[in-house]
A and B are shown apart, each in its own frame.
Chain A
Amino acid sequence: MTWQLNPQDQWLWIWAIVLGAFVLVLGLIPLLQVLPPRGRRALVVGITFLAGLFFAAEFFMPVNEEQKNMLTPAIQPAQNLLQLIGALALGLGTYGLVRLHLKNVVQKRTQWGYSVVLLVSFVTMAFFSIWNTLAEKELAPKTPLLENSFKLLFDFTLVQLDAAMFSLIAFYIFSAAYRAFRIRSIEASILMFTAMVVMIGVVPLGAYISYDLMGFSAEPTPEGASFVQMLVHNLGLPKVANWILTSLNAPAQRAIEFGVGIGGLAMAIRLWLSLERGIT
């Protein structure tokens, strides 16, 4: 059996195989439905375990001088498979969104007019996005209509709306900081003091205040300086902010990393062995 057909001569076979694959795989669902719940779970657990086993084994197996073992050549097709499945998984979100808003329109729920706006925008953008991507690969013609429409829809509508939407958070942070940031405990004081030093220290204003107004040294610590000299030499806000970030913040973040790492490893093993209920 050959894994590769000639697309020029055997294109009919290829079409037949693709259609057959859809019929076979999707037609398998009623057959799988016959399985009892324990059988279904066993199938899901089996697929989960085998998928994890492949990557774990590939990592743990010894490698030769080319950094490869017997499973390494299979990484690339596994990559292709997971990219395809990943893309279909991302499409699930889009499908769910369109499904919801189509229902709104068909059933004329409250504010269904906005759902019409969403669906019209969706279809228009999808059309030009697919056309643009195909045109980039020279699989479709690139016309002035495409260029101008995509420019309008992407550069000057989607990008602007996206940027504006996320910039709203600045207003909310400012309002929340004024109304809710209250120093009621030692922890809140430490958090606020650190935040203020970092906020002023990392921006040019901090450098201006420290080096131009207050006269601290902007130069690096001289070689062989004593501990006291080093302290005095690093009193500027930018240096203090950098010291907070590298010497005080970094170990705290590392402690969180260790916790996350150990928890992640435990969770990975539980997920791999399907010990976690409600997921698979």
Chain B
Amino acid sequence: MQPQTIWQKMLAVDRRLLYVLLLVNIVMFLLVPVRMPASISPPVQKFYDTIEALQPGDLVMISSNWSASTLAENQPQLEAVIKHLMRKKARFSIISIEAQSRDISYRLAERVTKAEGYEYGRDWVHFGFVPNLTVAIKGMVTDLPNTIKQDVRGTRVSQIEMLKGVNSLRQYKLVIDVTPSGTVPIWISYSPKEVNIIYCPTSVMAAEAYTYLDSGQIKGMVTGAKGAQEYEQLLGIVGLASRFTNAISFSHVLIITFILLGNVAMFMNRLAERREA
């Protein structure tokens, strides 16, 4: 039966038209040369303040577990975090529990740190890939050098300048979990209580983490690309996330508009059918 009323036509619209509309919306607002400032949310402010409280030389563990599938959300987060840590002259080590993340985070960190004169081995190090985070954390708490053994470049941990005298995860001040999956409960469960944890999830995982924020198990959170934009704003830098936000805002407007349109079309179509009946 051919659709007759406008409401039936709306309900039967080809999904490919919707795809084109979405793409046009995104491209249009990416090209708009105006950037709206973000309102800094309390979790991002707490995240920023936690890193601001670090002293030069403090050790930070970055758990980078994202792959290219969440590049647009986690890459701006990791870049901003590394830039902030360099600003505070903190020393950081990166560990990955996802195979792809090993190279992605290593190459990203190499690129970002080179620009600021941070030296590998002296200021930062990458521990490589470990498939089992739980036992890795327990092992690092007990005996970090023999758990990690060597970094990505094959240097024994005991010979890395930055880690001389470091035997346990307890000597770290902060853990930053940049992840698209539920790894922060593992850090919360197994890392020492004296080490603070802050969290950079993708937006999908953020809603579940508010309970940890409430209980103080995580001290701050940067949620996805929009959180990264707020964080970049606090740092005074223009990164990837700052360039995305127009498009994110107006894609949400588009979705909300179409959800409402779909419901209006459904109601009007039902009314028309009842009148006909």
Residues of A that sit less than 8 Å from B by CB: 67-68, 72-73, 75-76, 78-80, 82-83, 86-87, 89-90, 132, 136-139, 154-155, 158-160, 162-163, 165-167, 170-171, 173-175, 177-179, 181-183, 192, 196, 199-200, 202-208, 211, 218, 236, 238, 242, 245-246, 249-251, 253-254, 256-257
Contacts and interface: CB of A to CB of B under 8 A. Distances in A.
B249 A203 contact: yes
A178 B207 contact: no
B41 interface: yes
B37 A207 contact: yes
B39 A137 contact: no
Nearest to B13: A178
Given A137-B154, A204-B38, A178 B142 contact: no
A246 to B, nearest CB: 6
Best-surrounded residue of A75, A76, A162, A218 (most CB of chain B within 10 A) = A76
21 contacts: A72-B142, A79-B136, A79-B138, A83-B135, A86-B131, A159-B68, A159-B71, A162-B71, A163-B69, A163-B72, A181-B262, A182-B262, A199-B256, A200-B252, A204-B38, A206-B39, A207-B37, A242-B42, A246-B210, A250-B210, A253-B207
Interface in B173-196: 192
Interface residues of B, number: 64
A203 B35 CA distance: 12
B70 A203 contact: no
Contact of B154 (A139, A170, A171): A139
A249 B262 contact: no
Contacts of A178: 18, 258-259, 261-262
Best-surrounded residue of B68, B207, B208, B256 (most CB of chain A within 10 A) = B68
A75 B139 contact: yes
B135 A82 contact: yes
B30 interface: no
B68 A158 contact: yes
Given A76-B142, A137-B152, A163-B68, 17 more contacts: A76-B139, A79-B139, A86-B132, A136-B153, A163-B69, A171-B18, A174-B19, A175-B19, A178-B258, A179-B15, A183-B263, A199-B252, A200-B253, A205-B249, A242-B42, A246-B213, A250-B214
A104 B237 CA distance: 52
Lowest 4 A-B CB distances belong to which pairs? Answer: A137-B154, A79-B139, A205-B249, A207-B39
A257 B69 contact: no
Interface of B: 11, 15, 18-19, 22, 36-39, 41-42, 67-72, 99-100, 103-104, 107, 130-132, 135-136, 138-139, 142-143, 146-147, 150, 152-154, 170, 192, 207-208, 210-211, 213-214, 223, 226, 229, 245-246, 248-250, 252-256, 258-259, 261-263, 266
A254 B214 contact: yes
Contacts of B223: 202
Contacts of A202: 41, 223, 226
Nearest to A154: B103
A251 B246 CA distance: 31
Contacts of B254: 174
B36 A245 contact: no
Nearest to A132: B103
A163 B180 CA distance: 13
Nearest to B21: A174
A162 B211 contact: no
A48 B147 CA distance: 23
B153 A138 contact: yes
Nearest to A176: B15
A205 B39 contact: no
B68 A162 contact: yes
A177 B11 CA distance: 12
Nearest to B35: A204
B68 A75 contact: no
A83 B248 contact: no
A249 B210 contact: yes
A206 B223 CA distance: 16
B36 A205 contact: yes
A149 to B, nearest CB: 14
A199 B255 contact: yes
A83 B170 CA distance: 21
Contacts of A87: 131
B129 to A, nearest CB: 9
B263 A182 contact: yes
A81 to B, nearest CB: 9
A72 B143 CA distance: 10
A236 B38 CA distance: 13
